[in-house]
Amino acid sequence: FGVLKADISSTMAEQNLEKAIVREPNIAQIYAVMGVVRALRGMFDESLVAFDKALELNDSLAIAYMWKSNSLVALQRFDEAVLAQQKARELDPLFISNSYNLATLLYWQGQFEEAIIIFNKLAEDHPLSSLPYEGISGLHFNRGNYVAAISNIKKAIALSPENEALKTK
């Protein structure tokens, strides 16, 4: 994520993942990371195989469901992505990305009421995070409520002034 180029980090990760599988073939996290590496390489079907292996070994590994959801989105399998993200949130409700990603998927599917409930709860539970306000802004923008979109993106920027990406939204 900006420290190393994706192809370099993916190659390094793959080399270490192969060693890890030989040593400890039943650790779910190894396959979950393998799924991320494959997704970074654009190999989304192969990433799903790795995530499924991780979840076969540990069906409580919330991060594997979240990462699997991302690959399902890339494959435009949105209903399955929502289900995977719901499972991730169910298993790890305190991880803000699980709720944020679920709300985003829901509003992409036109389930605005459900999405706004999740975003508002995130704002309540994480008042110092820019994520809820970024999500609320996107939802309002997509619904044509530009005043609310601008108001919420301003809140997000105020909470995370170093985040240049927010300033371009």
Each residue's pLDDT tens digit, 80-92:
999 999 999 999 9
Instruction: Please give the DSSP secondary-structure letter assigned to residue 130.
Output: S
Half-sphere exposure of 50 (CA within 13 A, CB side): 26
Each residue's pLDDT tens digit, 8-50:
887 888 888 888 888 988 999 999 999 999 998 999 999 999 9
Burial of 119 (0-12, 13-18, 19+ CB in 10 A): buried
CA 134 to CA 146: how far, in whole Å? Answer: 13
Q: What's the pTM value of the predicted model, to 2 decimals?
A: 0.87
Sequence-separated (6 or more) residues with CB below 8 Å from residue 36: 47, 67
Phi, psi dihedral angles at 109 (to 5 degrees):
-90, 5
